[in-house]
Structure 1
Amino acid sequence: MNATLSQKAIAEFFGTFVLVFIGTGSAVLAGSHVGFLGIAFAFGISVLAMVYAIGYISGCHINPAITISMLAFGKISGKDAVAYIIAQILGAILASGILLMIAQGKADYSLAANGLGQNGVGDTSPDKFAQGAGLMAEIVLTTIFLIVVHGSTSKNTPNGAFAGVAIGLALTMIHIVGIPVTGVSVNPARSIGPAIFVGGAALANLWVFIVGPIVGGLIGGAIWKLYDNK
């Protein structure tokens, strides 16, 4: 399909909305029922589903770190990258806003106490990991994720139709390990959405979840480039 830039941006907006709403929603609305493992699968399954729902339109980046990595390695134009990133951030903000409205329908919900699935380090880390540890985790986890994204979508990869499965399972995998550290971002848009509404430490530490994933995305792309023979 030769989609227009507007169609691609709408797809990225919708895909990011679903990722953030389902992923952070699993933590905010269902966390006490499904636990960390359930939250990990919520993020992974949402990406898997979106790959097949919008992948043929936009490539299903739904993550500025992916878009920037794709731009750096010549898989997307600068014009498209800017439109993608804007759409991704707006989709994440809308998802967080709607999630907040739903969460407030529960009598004992408090934004200050219960949060909105925001990422954190230090005192706001799920298991109180320091800022430096959180930054390192975001870089390493995003590196792993982007190697899978680049590799599974490469023209040299057999059975490319299964890329969505590999990407979804990879996101689940890194969430299983990383949720106790930062809540796992590996996606600046996913972090920006909740942070805007929560404020405070979520905004103060937001740079960790922008810089870490972008650096990890570039490293992951560079590692993939070392062994890709296209």
Structure 2
Amino acid sequence: MIRKLAAELLGTGLLVYFAVGVATLSFGFGTAGSSYAAGVVATALAFGLVLLALAYVLGPVSGCHVNPAVTIGALLTGRIPLVQAVGYWVAQFIGGILGALLLWATFAGSPRYSRSVTGLGADGWGAASAIHINGGGAFLTEVVLTTLFVFVALGATDEAANATVAGLTIGLALAVCHLIGIPITGTSVNPARSLGPALIVGGTALSQVWLFIIAPLAGGILAAGLYRLIFPKSEPVPNETLASGVE
């Protein structure tokens, strides 16, 4: 169990550092230039590719959930027991916070960085949204995107699926979620990915982070229900085969 928890903490921290780092560079520092679309694509690919790599490396150890929403889906489909799920949640949130702290420490070395102006890739709605989506729209978006992502993660690791391409399938699903979600909310689909940056940035990001914790968890619950509906005869698989993840 210690190895599994360490893998979840490490994986979540790395996901936040690299993928949220690309988001901050693209939208905070403006490295994508005047093209908003370029920043969206770069960030979406960063999340998808980092998760893809982590899935194949950490999947055999912990299943590479690196996302509380994925863990709740695994719990409700009988893949892991409650005690293990709680341990995963603790490790994931700690990993997300440590990853965000490391990313902040990295950017703090730049004279161009301002925590209040540059930010740290936090999610949000209203003025914090590129399209100024309201709270209800943001909640619906996060529920729908997380439902899709966790459903794909569960389905791709079903015993009837091709395990060799599971990591690729899940990584691409996360990238697609970000392609549509970034202009709307910034895309969470992962409470641990949202909490870390929000704690550091504070202000609006911190006051709105509750939505990006509750909505993805609700999406994970819905995904588990859909999985049981679509795959009613599937037997629970070992946690190690649930190579899934993220933010």
Tell me the TM-score normalized by structure 2: 0.89
Deviation string 1:138-174 (CA, Å, 9 cap, x unpaired) is: 00000110110010001121x2111000000000001
* The one of 142, 146, 162 aligned to 2:146: 142
2:119 aligned residue = 115
Amino acid at match of 1:169: L
Aligned mate of 2:183, from 177, 180, 185 = 180
Q: Could you tell me how far apart the structure 1 residues matched to 2:39 and 2:197 are?
A: 19
- For 1:126 and 1:11, the matched residues in 2 are separated by 34
Following superposition of structure 1 onto structure 2, how do residues 35-114 of structure 1 map, counting pairs within 5 Å? 35-114=39-118
Unmatched 5+ stretches in structure 2: 33-37, 235-247
1:221 corresponds, among 224, 228, 238, to: 224
What is the aligned partner in structure 1 of residue 203 from structure 2? Answer: 200
**2:12 corresponding residue in structure 1:** 16
SS at match of 1:71: helix
**Shift in Å, 1:29:** 2.7
Q: Give 5+ residue unaligned stretches, structure 1.
A: none
SS at the partner of 2:116?
A: helix
CA distance in 1, matches of 2:215, 2:90: 19
1:224, CA displacement in angstroms?
A: 1.4
> How far does residue 30 in structure 1 lie from its aligned partner after superposition?
4.3
Question: Contact conserved, 1:120 with 1:126, CA < 8 A, in 2?
Answer: no
Partner of 1:145, secondary structure, is helix
Greater Cα shift, 172-181 or 70-79: 70-79
Percent of pairs identical after alignment? 42
How far apart in 1 are the matches of 2:77 and 2:90? 20
- Paired amino acid for 1:181: I
Match of 1:6 among 2, 17, 37: 2
Q: State how far apart, in whole Å, the 2-side matches of 1:128 and 1:227 are.
A: 35
- Tell me how far 1:126 sits from its aligned partner: 2.7
Question: Distance in 2 between the 1:27 and 1:175 partners?
Answer: 11
**1:75-124 CA distance string (max 9 Å, x none):** 11111111111111111111111111111111121110111011111111
* Segments of 4+ moved more than 3 angstroms: none
**Structure 2 residue 164 is the aligned partner of structure 1 residue 161:** yes
CA shift, 1:14, in A, is 0.7
Q: Which residue of 2 aligns with 1:29?
A: 25
Q: Distance in 1 between matches of 2:183 and 2:73?
A: 26
Q: Report the alpha carbon displacement of residue 217 of structure 1 after superposing the two structures with TM.
A: 0.8
More helix by share: 1
Q: Which amino acid aligns with 1:163?
A: A
Secondary structure at 1:106 match in 2: coil
Distance in 2 (alpha carbons) for counterparts of 1:171 and 1:76: 22
Aligned to 1:171: 174
2:65 partner SS: coil
Q: TM-score, normalised by structure 1?
A: 0.95
Aligned residues: 225
CA distance in structure 2 between the aligned counterparts of 1:131 and 1:24, rounded to whole angstroms: 22
> CA–CA distance in 1 between the matches of 2:130 and 2:10?
28
Q: For 2:202, give the aligned amino acid.
A: G
Which digits, 9 at most, give the CA deviation of each residue in 1:153-203, with x for residues without a partner? 01121x211100000000000100010011100000000100111111111
Relative contact order (C-alpha < 8 Å, sep 6+): which is higher? 2
